[in-house]
């Protein structure tokens, strides 16, 4: 790339694991975390992403070859998984979280009325644990003392849950924190099928 020779600092940001596998969440066949076994291994070969992995590693390897990147991850766990899953030559590395919780800004929780409030936060996908939440809902709904919520942009269209629309924007990213407190949520189902690189 023209001008790359004069670049003083090169950073490679680990948003997800696309640099080590076409299955960017490292979910074997989109079902279970695989831990990124060796490309070409039997464990990799039984996955729908296995066939394209060698090509991806070769292309990404060319990017790293002859260049010194500082690899930056949003969490210690993401950095550890990426390092264990790749063999690219790396210069420095660092962890830079997107945010740090500010306890001073924590909103007051609504009073206790004896009802146990259980919520699912965010996108309604299996990868994020939506099926686990629905399974709990199927088993417990109708029992006294429980109320179920979904906090996020998507309406679950399920009369058993109360949907609280929550959207984040650049001006205020604390909307979910406030919604959890304002609705007196006691428990949150956060059951990702894979180790998230970060989680708000």
Distance between CA 27 and CA 2 in Å, rounded? 37
8 A C-beta contact, residue 184 and residue 107: no
DSSP 151: E
Place 5 in a pLDDT band, splitting at 50, 70 and 90: low
Instruction: Tell me whether strands 69-73 and 93-95 are parallel, antiparallel or unpaired.
Output: parallel
Report the pLDDT value the prediction gives residue 177, as an integer from 0 to 100: 84
Alpha-carbon dihedral sign for residues 171, 176, 179, 184: negative
Residues 88-117 pLDDT 10s: 988 889 999 887 766 656 666 666 678 899
Residue-averaged pLDDT of the chain: 87
SS3 call for 78: helix
pLDDT greater at residue 80 or residue 106: 80
Report the pLDDT value the prediction gives residue 104, as an integer from 0 to 100: 59
Residue showing tokens 């992995």:
53
Please determine, for residue 86, whether its predicted confidence score (pLDDT) is greater than 80: yes
8 A C-beta contact, residue 148 and residue 137: yes
Distance between CA 143 and CA 105 in Å, rounded? 35
Which span out of 20-29, 90-99, 113-122, 181-190 was modeled with the highest average pLDDT? Answer: 20-29
pLDDT greater at residue 7 or residue 30: 30
Residues 137-151 pLDDT 10s: 999 888 888 999 999
């Amino acid at each position: 790339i023209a001008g790359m020779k004069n670049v003083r600092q090169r950073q490679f940001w680990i948003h997800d694991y696309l640099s080590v596998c076409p299955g960017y969440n490292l979910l074997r066949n989109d079902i279970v975390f695989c831990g990124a076994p060796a490309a070409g291994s039997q464990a990799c070969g039984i996955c729908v992403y296995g066939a394209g992995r060698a090509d991806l590693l070769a292309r990404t390897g060319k990017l790293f070859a002859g260049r010194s990147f500082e690899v930056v991850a949003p969490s210690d766990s993401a950095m550890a998984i990426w390092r264990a899953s790749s063999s690219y030559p790396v210069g420095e590395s660092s962890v830079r979280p997107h945010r740090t919780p500010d306890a001073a800004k924590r909103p007051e929780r609504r009073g206790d009325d004896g009802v146990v409030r259980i919520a699912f936060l965010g996108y309604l996908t299996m990868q994020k644990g939506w099926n686990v939440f629905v399974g709990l809902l199927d088993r417990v709904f109708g029992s006294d003392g429980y109320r179920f919520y979904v906090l996020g942009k998507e309406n679950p269209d399920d009369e058993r849950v109360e949907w609280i629309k929550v959207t984040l924007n650049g001006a205020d990213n604390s909307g979910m924190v406030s919604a959890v407190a304002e609705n007196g949520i006691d428990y949150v189902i956060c059951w990702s099928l894979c180790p998230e690189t970060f989680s708000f």
